[in-house]
Amino acid sequence: MRTTVPNKKTGAILVIVMVIMVVFTLMVTALLQLGSFNEVETIKQLRITQARWVAEAGLERALSWVFFSPDFYDNTLQTDIPYFANSDDDDWLTLTNDNVECCYDVTLLKPADGGVIIRSIGTVSNNAMSASATVQYTIPEINGGTYTAIMALSGNSFLLSNTDVYGPIYQGQDDDLSEGYLTIDGTVHDVADAEGGIDGDAPSNYTEGDLPDPDPWPSVDHDDYKPDILIAAASTNLPTATVVLGGTEYYNGDMTITSISGSGTIVAYGSITIDMSAEIPAGVNLVSSGDITLKNTSFSGNNKLVTFGNLDLLSGSEFSGDRVSLNALYEDDFPSPGNIYRGGINIAANMKDFAGIIYAEGLYPDPMKYKGDSYYFSVIFDPGAQQDMSGTIIAYQGFYIGQNATITYDPSVFDEGDPVVFPWNIPNLDTAYWEEIQE
């Protein structure tokens, strides 16, 4: 009898074929999955690219608005808040070639340290996939006005010995385009990140910087105050020594005030003299067609003084106060034609803990005790007083800062309601930069 032995090789081949088929199946499945993944990834990258395109479109629209919209320039003093947010009222645009809907959402910021930041978020979406991308454009600022401890737009200026200035000084040109003259015997201390200006640590060692001319110059709109002056001129209210305020009070004639209560504005068609042994209450403002003279008093804070004549802080007093604005305006035919020596400020009083803006357009009429007949100034700090202030000084036609003065640049004094309007700082496109923000 004959016995047949099973062929072991045949069984082994069958097992090998089955393993190969399983491996092949797995490879095909993996390749199919990889292809599907690659397709998804390709679509994802396409959507991200499209989202970036949309974000850049929003950025460009906001950028053009920054440069050409007066609405932005009118809002110069708010910081760290969005000025502009736009998502096309949530109307979604359609990319017709790809049946993808898209929109952008733009936020424009003016940070406290200056500059402009435009941040745009682009979003694209269809039923299958959506994506977003964020791009940002940062524009540093150069000049504009709110950057100096002292600014002289023309004329000749003097900084005497024993004076300290912490901040840039700008000295502009005269009307005939010749250089204004600046004499420094005091000390102008180093300023971090100053865009030029007068800078240095010793009277004989300072650098003449290259601050650009502010264009337009800081200014006060005269038409904000002339109508009130004309109302006062037509008023039958006679001047009084005691004023109780609950709004705006108009007086026709020169007045000497010995008591003020309440808050509001005193408008006089004439000169105003404040002579009282008490502070001018907070929120009290003065507007005068003539001179404003202050003695034996001080400021509580948040006070605004505007005169079309000259402004004097007389010796024998010590002035302090926060958010104080002193403004002397000059206009050829209003209110006293022919008087060229007006619109100046003379501070012969001591100043301590004084924070605010000192602004003068004209010339103070008494140069004799300072530099002689050939020199007139918009702002004078009498060398016989001790003055310590923070904020900024703007002297259209030169300044004279006497001995024993300390002036510290402080941008926090630039309130939105101040009479002085500073030009919006000019965007510096040379150092602007674009970046994509990774979420």
At 110-128, the pLDDT tens digits run 676 667 788 888 888 876 7
- Yes or no: say if 55 and 438 are a contact pair by the CB < 8 Å rule: no
Q: Is the pLDDT of residue 158 over 70?
A: yes
Which residue segment(s) compose the domain that 72 sits in?
12-143+429-437
| Residue 90 pLDDT | 40
Q: Concatenate the DSSP letters of all residues of 192-253 into one string.
A: TT--SSEEEEETTEEEE--PPPPSSPPEE-GGGTHHHHHHHHT--PPP-SEEEESSEEEEES
Give yes or no: residues 209 and 357 share one domain.
yes
**Is 3 inside a domain boundary?**
no
Give yes or no: residues 118 and 218 share one domain.
no
Give yes or no: residues 112 and 183 share one domain.
no
Question: Cα–Cα distance between 210 and 200 in angstroms, integer?
Answer: 14
| Residue 252 pLDDT | 95
Give yes or no: residues 58 and 161 share one domain.
no
Give yes or no: residues 157 and 139 share one domain.
no
**Is 215 inside a domain boundary?**
yes
- Please tell me which residue, 437 or 318, carries the higher pLDDT value: 318
Structure confidence at residue 271 as a pLDDT band (50, 70, 90): very high
Give yes or no: residues 409 and 322 share one domain.
yes
Give yes or no: residues 348 and 405 share one domain.
yes
Dump pLDDT digits (tens) for 47-62: 888 888 888 888 887 7
**Is 7 inside a domain boundary?**
no
Q: Is 123 exposed, middle or buried (0-12, 13-18, 19+ CB in 10 A)?
A: buried
Mean pLDDT to the nearest integer, 361-378: 80
Give yes or no: residues 221 and 262 share one domain.
yes
Dump pLDDT digits (tens) for 321-349: 998 999 999 988 787 666 788 999 999 99
Using alpha carbons, select from 282, 286, 269 the residue that is nearest to residue 233: 269
| Domains identified in the chain, total number | 2
| Residue 106 pLDDT | 81
Residue 196: CB atoms within 10 A of its CB come to 17
**Is 22 inside a domain boundary?**
yes
**Is 226 inside a domain boundary?**
yes
Question: Cα–Cα distance between 313 and 381 in angstroms, integer?
Answer: 10
Tokens of 246: 């609950």
- Residue indicated by tokens 């969005």: 82
Highest mean pLDDT of the ranges 167-181, 196-210, 414-428: 414-428
Give yes or no: residues 412 and 396 share one domain.
yes
Give yes or no: residues 350 and 384 share one domain.
yes
**Is 294 inside a domain boundary?**
yes
Structure confidence at residue 70 as a pLDDT band (50, 70, 90): very low
Give yes or no: residues 97 and 242 share one domain.
no
Q: Is the pLDDT of residue 105 over 90?
A: no
**Is 317 inside a domain boundary?**
yes
**Is 5 inside a domain boundary?**
no
Give yes or no: residues 302 and 244 share one domain.
yes
